[in-house]
Amino acid sequence: MTTWSDVFRDLPKGAGLFITATDTAVGKTLVTGAIARLLREAGKKVGVLKPVASGCRRDREGLVSADAEFLAACAETDYPLSVITPVCYKTPAAPMVCAEIERKPVDFEAIAAAFGFLAQTCDVVLVEGIGGALVPLAEDVTILDVAARLDLPTVIVARPGLGTINHTLLTLAAVRAAGLPVAGVVINGYNAATAEIPEETASNVIARCGRTNVLTVVPYDDLSSVEHLRLGDAVLEAISLCDWDALSKS
């Protein structure tokens, strides 16, 4: 009997990153898009993959993920959105809940096929998770389980404020327990004008206690918008401080 993990065997290996977060709405799509834009501007053919998306809108071609549209625009790819996000749900919930409500289990074969295609045709593949690292795709499968089969260095996107130290250290522990290498942490949405002690100290504490690198601190930027397919200069400048090409090959 073929299991969900069997379909991820013998996938092509290449440069890439898995981008997860400490929670939902932390900004991993924005960060992934900015990385894609910079790699594309450096001359790389960038594959972007968000294996599962929920809260999608329906148009005449089916369900469409706004995150997938943003990633496609940032990577300047002409690959169809059905490759970038092979599993879409209308319900705005965890994929396991969506699968039960919409009576459509997560199609792991479609995810593996999309990743394999991108890995074979692109210089680097950026895989963005859904929600946090342990969001369930099925009762016994999380997005981190899928990431472990893809075996990519992992970037963790975190908030800057109170509570982020605990959330980030827990996510680091989960990623390491899955056997994935940690590329580092990106702090997203830092607002210097309103920052207090928790925001000012979180980055240093995460680096020290998590024994990891804080790759960059991305400022809050109201010029950037996933919905409107916009990346502001402040976000791009912060993301450009890291050598993403080197990290994707580690």
Which residues form the catalytic set? 50
Alpha-carbon distance of 176 to 168, in angstroms, equals: 12
Cβ atoms of 187 and 217 closer than 8 Å:
yes
170 φ/ψ sector (left φ>0, alpha ψ -120 to 50, else beta): alpha
Residues 237, 199, 227, 15, CA torsion sign: positive
Cβ atoms of 119 and 16 closer than 8 Å:
yes
Q: How far from 249 is each of 23, 46, 113, 203, CA to CA, in Å?
A: 26, 14, 21, 25
Of 3, 6, 8, residue with least CA distance to 151: 8
